[in-house]
Amino acid sequence: MNTLSIVVPAFDESAHMRECLDALLVQRERIHEIIVVDNNSTDDTAVIVEEYARRFPQVILLRESERGVVHARNAGFDHACGSIIGRIDADTRVEAGWVDSVLDFFDRRLDYVAVTGPIYLYDSPWARPYRAFVDRSVRNRPSERWVSAASGNNFAVRRSAWEAVRGRTSLRTDLHEDIDLSLCLNKVGLRIAEIEPMRVKVSGRRLLTPPLEYRHYVQSSYRTWAHHGLAGGWLRRLLISDLVLHTAHWPLTRILSSCESRILPVSHS
């Protein structure tokens, strides 16, 4: 019988922490532990987590002093004792059935070591049309399919697979740690799936990142694939298109949005 640990790296996430934990705790009957890794927050993130930990024994506050999502993730993954390790962001809100979909998948599909699912937006003016776009995309593909990489805001991996690639993952903070981990799994022949029921909503605050700042985010994507020797012209064209689209919608998004922008989860160097 698989057990599920969920790791949530957090830096100055007091605005989202309660909603993130509330969504998880609705499904707490099948969750072994929820590990929030506070990565040097300067706001009330740790206070909020401690409050929840007093009320719910599954909630654990872990502190990681070395700045960077990769260090917070590693601390949480290494501390987790479940046979399955879930990974979401502090602004992620899992939807109904998320926990069941993760555990049921790993019970059935021994040929996969990691899994992800559809990602929607909230607190964004584009939340409704984006959800319609994602739903349409999901209807046009198999309910379970192989993917090369998974996003860290909606991810779960077998602990045995994490231990197999732990030493291969990079500690560079200018890379996307979730893509790096995915590509490390791929390199040793371990497969990642995307399944339709594993749905989450995330904040639309990344869409508010100023274009010049967002350029660093895009460059980190290219840098991560290049780190694994997999970058090419196709990726460059895809990322340039992403940057152009972001630049085009950013002025209107800034006017219409009610949330605030957020610092990038990767360094510029």
User: 269: which residues sit within 8 A by CB, 6+ positions away?
Assistant: 174
CB atoms within 10 A of CB 165: 20
DSSP E strands: which ranges in 47-118? Answer: 59-63, 84-87, 93-94, 114-116
267: pLDDT strictly greater than 90: no
Distance, in Å, from the CA atom of 61 to the CA atom of 56, rounded to the nearest integer, reads 12
Residue 158 β-bridge partners: 84
* 152 and 22 both lie in a single domain: yes
* 214 and 176 both lie in a single domain: no
What value does the mean pLDDT take over residues 13-42?
97
In a domain, 91, yes or no: yes
Number of domains within the chain: 2
DSSP 144-210: EEEES---TTSEEEEHHHHHHHTTTS---TTS-HHHHHHHHHHHTT--EEEETT--EEEEGGGGGS-
User: 9: which residues sit within 8 A by CB, 6+ positions away?
Assistant: 37, 39, 69, 72, 73, 76, 89, 90
263: pLDDT strictly greater than 90: no
Helix (H/G/I), strand (E/B), else coil: 86: strand
In a domain, 268, yes or no: no
- In sign, the C-alpha dihedral spanning 190, 194, 200, 201 is positive
pLDDT of residue 260: 80
CB atoms within 10 A of CB 1: 5
Residue numbers of the domain that contains 191:
4-205
Helix (H/G/I), strand (E/B), else coil: 237: helix
Give the pLDDT band (50/70/90) at residue 262.
Answer: confident
Q: At 254, give phi and psi (nearest 5°).
A: -65, -35
pLDDT of residue 164: 98
Distance, in Å, from the CA atom of 48 to the CA atom of 181, rounded to the nearest integer, reads 29
In a domain, 89, yes or no: yes
* 67 and 125 both lie in a single domain: yes
What's the token pair of residue 170? 């990079």
Computed over every residue of the chain, the mean pLDDT equals 96
In a domain, 269, yes or no: no
Closest CA to 114 of 158, 180, 151: 158
In a domain, 263, yes or no: no
Q: At 114, give phi and psi (nearest 5°).
A: -150, 160
259: pLDDT strictly greater than 60: yes
pLDDT of residue 57: 96
Give the pLDDT band (50/70/90) at residue 269.
Answer: low
Last residue of a domain, one of 174, 205, 236: 205
In a domain, 264, yes or no: no
Distance, in Å, from the CA atom of 224 to the CA atom of 183, rounded to the nearest integer, reads 9
* 117 and 16 both lie in a single domain: yes
* 228 and 184 both lie in a single domain: no
* 193 and 218 both lie in a single domain: no
Give residue-wise pLDDT tens across range 84-137: 999 999 999 999 999 999 999 999 999 999 999 999 999 999 999 999 999 999
* 32 and 121 both lie in a single domain: yes
Does residue 151 contact residue 180 with C-beta atoms inside 8 Å?
no
Instruction: Kindly state the DSSP code that residue 3 receives in the 8-state scheme.
Output: -
* 190 and 237 both lie in a single domain: no
